[in-house]
Amino acid sequence: DAKTTQPNSMESNEEEPVHLPCNHSTISGTDYIHWYRQLPSQGPEYVIHGLTSNVNNRMASLAIAEDRKSSTLILHRATLRDAAVYYCILRGNYGGATNKLIFGTGTLLAVQP
Amino acid sequence: DTGVSQNPRHKITKRGQNVTFRCDPISEHNRLYWYRQTLGQGPEFLTYFQNEAQLEKSRLLSDRFSAERPKGSFSTLEIQRTEQGDSAMYLCASSTPGPNTEAFFGQGTRLTVV
């Protein structure tokens, strides 16, 4: 299974942008880059995903490097509610096309008021 | 549709007892996944269903664990003869096919074995 590398933790100030990096040097051509986040005592929540082009939605933006070996999740204005563990995951066709999500330990984002 | 629903939210059981958890996925999702999460770790994949067929099981799923998805709707995860090491959050997720789709997770069932 393709692996991702993320910093263990990051800090941000409220209302400032946050850039969460992810390295995935072994990504294959058919892997989608997914981001999920998990607030305390809750299940993971989908944030955004992409294949090659940068993506925007109401929650965040995803910037994907040209060689696809890294990506950055961008929260444009962090709020206290964005404090969570953020997981960068490659979702592809593994082992019979289960498309399962393989989680690492993610990045714990702390947001200071 | 209110999303993926898991019951119960919390379960405390004595070591050696059997427990069963239920997951109700989003109705049009034919894919269902079970995960286990311990403190400080990301969720670990346990098993996967496509409709009613269980197509993949992790090595983490010992023979004390069994999962079913009759009629391809809700799913149950049973743990027999629980051990303290089974204490964890058990998460269920559902999605439509393909890597270009999002998975929806339930709130999880927190199991404590005493």
| Residue A102 confidence (pLDDT) | 87
Dihedrals φ, ψ of A98, to 5°?
Answer: -75, -20
pLDDT tens track for A60-69: 999 999 999 9
Distance CA B17, CA B88 (A): 16
Residues of chain A below pLDDT 70: 1-2, 93-97
Does A87 reach chain B within 8 Å, measured CB to CB? yes
Contacts of A80 (CB under 8 A, 6+ apart): A14, A111, A113
pLDDT tens track for B68-95: 999 889 999 999 999 999 999 999 999 9
| Residue A15 confidence (pLDDT) | 96
Residue numbers in B near A101 (CB within 8 A): 33, 43, 45, 93, 103
| Residue A35 confidence (pLDDT) | 97
In whole angstroms, how far apart are CA B73 and each of B53, B64, B108?
A: 11, 23, 18
Could you say which of B55, B104, B105 has the minimum Cβ distance to residue A98?
A: B55
| Residue A5 confidence (pLDDT) | 94
Distance CA A19, CA A89 (A): 16
Q: What is the CA angle B36-B37-B42, rounded to 5?
A: 120
Half-sphere exposure of residue B109: CA atoms within 13 angstroms, side-chain side = 26
